[in-house]
Amino acid sequence: MVSEHASPLGVLGGVDAGGQNVHVAELATEMGRQGMDVVVHTRRDDPFLPPRARLAPGVMVDHVDAGPAHHVPKDRLLPHMDDFAAALHRRWSHRRPHVVHAHFWMSGRAALAAARPLGIPVVQTFHALGVVKRRHQGTRDTSPPERVDEERAIIAGADRLVATCTDEVFELVRLGADRNRVRVLPCGVDHDLFRPDGPSDAPPAARHRLVAVGRLVERKGLGTIVAALAELPDAELVVAGGPHRSELGEDEEARRLGVLAHRYEVADRVDLRGRVERADVPCLLRSADVVVCVPWYEPFGMVAVEAMACGVPVVASGVGGLVDTVVDGVTGVHVPPRDPVRLARALRGLLDDSSLRASLGTAGVRRARENYSWSTVARATLDTYREVVVPREAGDAGRVLQP
């Protein structure tokens, strides 16, 4: 696997660390559990990291030297991808993998450059598409101008394309993808960690609690939730994500949310927690009356599935992967993005009806367990690999790619 900016060992909550880190870590770990030999190649962003680190049984993380050995925002990493690709080519020339699975567009660019000369098949998961980001963010999109053209080249060159939701399939086809080479494989959820039973970070008895979890970036729609809170005087909002709580004063989005909270006179009911350790997230989710996920766009929406697995109803934007995961009226409620009036109305309906919340929560647990386990996602991903692997010798691919 190649994940140039999102290390499976990364600390979650920063601007460039979120769902992709979790996806790569969980998918690789489950593949190792199923008997695969997995190496995840990621860019070295710390000079003190070892060359290799063990993530899980059968899974190693390879720190690749490409660019400075410190954090570089992902939108500034493109100039270092030729060095990244050259390092991958050297590694794979020495020990050739059966298949390469690239995560994100820059990983795809490097993986194809390194793998193609060696005849190694490449599977690509974008996690987000530049054309979608540009559509929703306009001039605020900080992606390199080459991104969309690079993605088109990856779409043409990859052996298989993995979409994390059905909406992404249509975007890929619009960009030139052959529909027969696209597979829809969602993200999963750790059902040992995210479950309805367990401790809960109980809210004040006099208030309902809304919880939002994710990176502190404007497109996640946290400002919409703050605005809606003005119409919900009996509710508080807890936001987990971003830097450590002590450093929130230096975070641009945290400051913007603080200004909004004062403007809407809800500052006393908005709690920016900052970074919350992943092991503590289920406790926070279980404390919520409703989990709110209202981004402008969303390739999958991992937090929504994690909330469902904890038995908590979700109010979600009717966009991207959230259309697939949250079933409107069954496990949660869909609302338009960037519409605080509609959001407040949907939340009011749920906060006033505890029986409905319980029903949606129960259905969410069932749906998460039936459709979003990592073991199921890993098996489906391995099936995709088997479609493109060419055995190097009789029986080789079958032996290596069979759990």
The whole-angstrom separation of Cα 221 and Cα 13 is 15
- To 5 degrees, how large is the angle CA 311–CA 195–CA 54? 140
What's the chain's length in residues? 403
In this predicted structure, what is the pLDDT of residue 401? 62
Average pLDDT, the chain: 93
Q: What amino acid is encoded at 149 in this protein?
A: D
Q: Are strands 52-56 and 59-64 parallel, antiparallel or unpaired?
A: antiparallel
Question: Would you give the end-to-end CA distance of the chain in angstroms?
Answer: 18
CA distances (Å), origin 96, targets 15, 32, 107, 402: 33, 18, 17, 18
Place of tokens 């079933």: 327
Neighbour tally for 352: CB within 10 Å: 11
Closest CA to 62 of 91, 29, 30, 20: 91
Are 52 and 63 in contact, with CB atoms under 8 Å apart?
yes
Cβ 251 vs Cβ 220: under 8 Å: no
Token digits for 162? 């993995």
Positive/negative CA dihedral, 68, 73, 76, 80: positive
- Let me know: does 166 contact 184? Beta carbons within 8 Å: yes
SS3 307: helix
**pLDDT tens-digit readout, 99-142:** 999 999 999 999 999 999 999 999 999 999 999 989 988 888 88
Of 88, 139, 77, the C-alpha closest to 116 is 88
DSSP, res 357: H
What's the fold here for domain 208-371? Rossmann fold (3.40.50)
Helices 302-309/354-371 angle, 10° precision: 110
Looking up tokens 């005849």 gives: 119
Contact criterion met (CB below 8 Å) for 160 and 183: yes
DSSP string, 206-259: TSEEEEEES---GGG-HHHHHHHHTT-TTEEEEEE-SS-GGGGGG-HHHHHHHH
Instruction: Delimit the domains of the chain by residue range.
Output: 19-188+373-400, 208-371
pLDDT at 399: 46
- pLDDT value at residue 400: 54
What is the reported pLDDT for 11? 53
* 285 and 194 Cβ atoms separated by less than 8 Å: yes
* Under-70 pLDDT residues of the chain: 11-18, 204, 390-403
Whether 19-188+373-400 shares its CATH topology with 208-371 is answered yes
pLDDT of residue 206: 81
Structure tokens belonging to residue 271: 């709690």
Please tell me the distance from the alpha carbon of residue 134 to that of residue 18, in angstroms, as a whole number: 20
Q: Please list the helix, strand and coil fractions of the chain in percent, rounded to the nearest 5, in that order.
A: 45, 15, 35
Quick one: pLDDT at residue 10?
77
Identify the CA nearest to 215 among candidates 166, 252, 188, 165.
252
- With respect to CATH, is domain 19-188+373-400 assigned 3.30.450.190? no
Structure tokens at 369: 């367990």
Reported as type and span, the H/E element at residue 359 is helix 354-371
Taking residue 295's Cβ as centre, other Cβ atoms within 10 Å add up to 26
Helix (H, G, I), strand (E, B) or coil at 268: helix
C-alpha–C-alpha distance, residues 184 and 159, integer Å: 14
The pLDDT value given to residue 104: 97
**pLDDT value at residue 205:** 73
pLDDT at 26: 95
* H runs (alpha helix) in 287-353: 302-309, 320-325, 340-351
